């Protein structure tokens, strides 16, 4: 089976998003500081660009949580179609975990958001089938990544460790009892240390 991947930026104290995610702060307060290595910082290096290539490589399908899809909580309200404008960067089916039913949303460039109410296992199974052998990516956020790690489906995990202390926010390793990966590639820059891990065993 093709790899299931996950690529997350993380603070030195283990947070992948800051607290109080909202329309004004999609990554939580100060969460954007974790992403300077590929968003907007003029100090971006060749190493950062290589890691950005890892992040943006095409996949056959994606799984994400509702908090990553948007700021709306509870029943769906309005015509929200995601943070990414009319053409999201996925260009493939995206399975969004939610407790509330919603019809699929077709976007430009081949992205269709499908909303799954039966839990992570159902979303992942649908993504594997839709990927057609091209691999699945666990796109985030923190809760979805935790579920994927606990389920043991991630083959390759990339962490971009930013030299930032957030103090609070969303973690991906809470409740994950064992790591089970080994580093296979490390890239360094002033903005982040990029570590690509592969599942052991």
DSSP conformational letter for 39? T
- For the chain, which domains are there? 4-73+88-199 (3.40.430.10)
26-37 burial, b if ≥16 CB within 10 A, otherwise e? bbbbbbbbbbbb
At residue 127, does pLDDT exceed 70?
Answer: yes
For residue 78, name the pLDDT band (cuts at 50, 70, 90).
confident
What the block records as the tokens of 86 is 């009319």
At residue 129, does pLDDT exceed 90?
Answer: yes
Q: Are 5 and 184 in contact (CB under 8 A)?
A: no
Q: Note the pLDDT of residue 114.
A: 98
Mean pLDDT, range 58-73, rounded to an integer? 95
3-state SS class at 92: coil
At residue 1, does pLDDT exceed 70?
Answer: no
For residue 57, give the nearest of 134, 111, 117 by alpha carbon: 134
At residue 77, does pLDDT exceed 90?
Answer: no
pLDDT in tens, 19-44: 999 989 999 999 999 999 999 899 99
Q: How far apart are CA 129 and CA 79, in angstroms?
A: 28
pLDDT in tens, 93-110: 999 999 999 999 999 999
Q: What is the mean pLDDT of the chain?
A: 96
Mean pLDDT, range 74-80, rounded to an integer? 90
At residue 201, does pLDDT exceed 80?
Answer: no
Q: Note the pLDDT of residue 126.
A: 98
CA atoms within 13 A on the CB side of 89: 11
pLDDT in tens, 137-186: 999 999 999 999 999 999 999 999 999 999 999 999 999 999 999 999 99
What the block records as the tokens of 51 is 């890691």
Q: How far apart are CA 38 and CA 44, in angstroms?
A: 7
Task: Say what the pTM is.
Answer: 0.96
Mean pLDDT, range 1-21, rounded to an integer? 94
First and final C-alpha spacing in the chain: 15
Q: How far apart are CA 97 and CA 112, in angstroms?
A: 14
């Amino acid at each position: 089976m093709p790899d299931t991947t996950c690529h997350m930026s993380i603070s030195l104290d283990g947070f992948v998003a800051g607290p109080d995610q909202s329309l004004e702060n999609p990554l939580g307060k100060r969460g954007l500081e974790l992403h300077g290595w590929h968003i907007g910082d003029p100090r971006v290096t060749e190493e950062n660009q290589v890691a950005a290539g890892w992040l943006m490589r095409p996949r056959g399908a994606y799984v994400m949580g509702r908090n990553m899809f948007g700021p709306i909580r509870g029943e769906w309200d309005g015509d929200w179609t995601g943070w990414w404008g009319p053409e999201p960067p996925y260009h493939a089916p995206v399975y969004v975990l939610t407790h509330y039913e919603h019809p699929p949303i077709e976007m430009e460039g081949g992205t269709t958001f499908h909303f799954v109410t039966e839990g992570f296992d159902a979303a992942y199974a649908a993504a594997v089938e839709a990927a057609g052998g091209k691999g699945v990516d666990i796109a985030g956020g923190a809760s979805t990544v935790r579920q994927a790690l606990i389920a043991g489906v991630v083959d390759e995990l990339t962490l971009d460790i930013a030299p930032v202390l957030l103090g609070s926010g969303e973690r991906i390793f809470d409740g994950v009892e064992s790591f089970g990966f080994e580093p296979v590639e490390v890239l360094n820059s002033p903005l982040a240390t990029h570590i690509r891990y592969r599942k052991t065993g």
